[in-house]
Amino acid sequence: MKNKLSWFAVPYVGWMALMVVIPILIMVVYAFTTAEFEGTLENFAEMGSYASVFLRSFRLALVATLVCVLIGYPVSYWMAHEGPGFQRMAMALIMLPMWMNFLLRTYSWMSILENNGLLNQLFRNIGVIDLYNQIAPFFVDLRNAIAAHFGAAQTNFVPIEYFELIGTPGAVVLGMVYNYLPFMILPIYSVILKLDSNLLEAARDLGADSGRVFRKVILPLSLPGVLSGVTMVFVPSVSTFAISRLLGGGTQMMLGDLIEQQFLGGAYDPHLGAAISMVMMVIVVVCMVVMNRFGEGEGEAVIL
């Protein structure tokens, strides 16, 4: 960076200062001050009481990221090995939902997952719910028998009208996976597509069967794609608020919701909100740095 910045960089630098650096500074100032703008650490002292929200946020984001890897990797791998026509079509299908508004997509999931939603109606119509009501008593009895043996409390079986889908952690994870999966598929797909086919031939030539070629060559070489996919899914997941509010039914409060409440909600306290934002940002940055470190050493670490 010895070169003087070219004049063309001025708009970019100006924009970044205005839209990134200054807001972060404002956040830091708010986080360390009271409502009267006197210096304080009190905002951070309260952080402990929100530990459960922090935990839930990171846990759900982690699960969503993991699910995205588990779905995204095989899909990317498969896509990269199909013909160019198929690849274009698959790519269009993956990108298609992203042309719709994010909130609209999430509201759609609400109407699918609701107690009287599309999915439950379907289950009712094809008899899945009746089936459950017939089978479940057997397991409840079994559980009661075991509980009686250990002297534990008994439960009564209550027939259900619907499966509880909305308002569960699973619904929130589903929403995250649905919204962020393309960000996992794209980087992995492009890395696998660019893999030198000579390397795969070389590995086969040296005696590796297809399983070994995958484990020893394809997987380590596609790891950078996985890492950037993980970053691109994990960061928005951990800070989301719309998904958790709409699909979590108010029971799955995440950091995003907590922060939103401090600024727009009833618990108006921008200074606390700034402090929570700052803590979250620091944790995310640390996570990313650690992961990328791990990624750099991966080439040697996995193999040796």
Partner 1 sequence: MSKELIRLTDCVMAFDEDIVLDKINLSIKDKEFLTLLGPSGCGKTTTLRIIGGFQTPTSGDVLLDGVRINAVPPHKRTINTVFQKYALFPHLNVYENIAFGLRIPKADTKGIKVKLPEEEIDRRVMEMLEIVNLRGFEKRRTSQLSGGQQQRVAIARALVNQPKVLLLDEPLGALDLKLRKDMQNELKRIQKAMEITFVYVTHDQEEALAMSDTVVVMDAGRIQQIGSPEDIYNEPQNAFVADFIGESNIIDGVMRSDGVVEIFNRRFQCLDGGFERDEAVDVVIRPEDVDIVPEDQGQLKGTVTSVTFKGMQYDIIVDFYGFKWLIQTTDLSPVGSRIGIKIDPDGIHVMKKSAYSGMFGDYSSYSEEYEEISDASYDPEEEDSGDEE
Residues forming contacts to partner 1 in the complex (CB under 8 A) are 196, 198-199, 201-209, 212, 216-217, 220-221, 298-300, 303-304
Tell me whether residue 182 or residue 187 sits nearer to partner 1 (CB atom): 187
CB of 114 to partner 1, least distance (A): 48
Contacts of 259 (CB under 8 A, 6+ apart): 241, 273, 276, 277, 280
CB of 190 to partner 1, least distance (A): 17
CB of 300 to partner 1, least distance (A): 7
Instruction: Read off φ and ψ for residue 44, nearest 5 degrees.
Output: -80, -25
Angle at 95 between CA 186 and CA 174, to 5 degrees: 85
Report the distance separating Cα 135 and Cα 119, nearest Å.
20
Report the distance separating Cα 102 and Cα 152, nearest Å.
47
Report the distance separating Cα 221 and Cα 214, nearest Å.
10
Q: How far is CA 247 from the centre of its chain?
A: 14
Tell me whether residue 125 or residue 198 sits nearer to partner 1 (CB atom): 198
CB of 203 to partner 1, least distance (A): 7
Tell me whether residue 208 or residue 291 sits nearer to partner 1 (CB atom): 208
Report the distance separating Cα 138 and Cα 150, nearest Å.
19
- Whether the CB-CB separation of 220 and 299 falls below 8 Å is answered with yes
Tell me whether residue 145 or residue 199 sits nearer to partner 1 (CB atom): 199
CB of 87 to partner 1, least distance (A): 22
Tell me whether residue 36 or residue 300 sits nearer to partner 1 (CB atom): 300
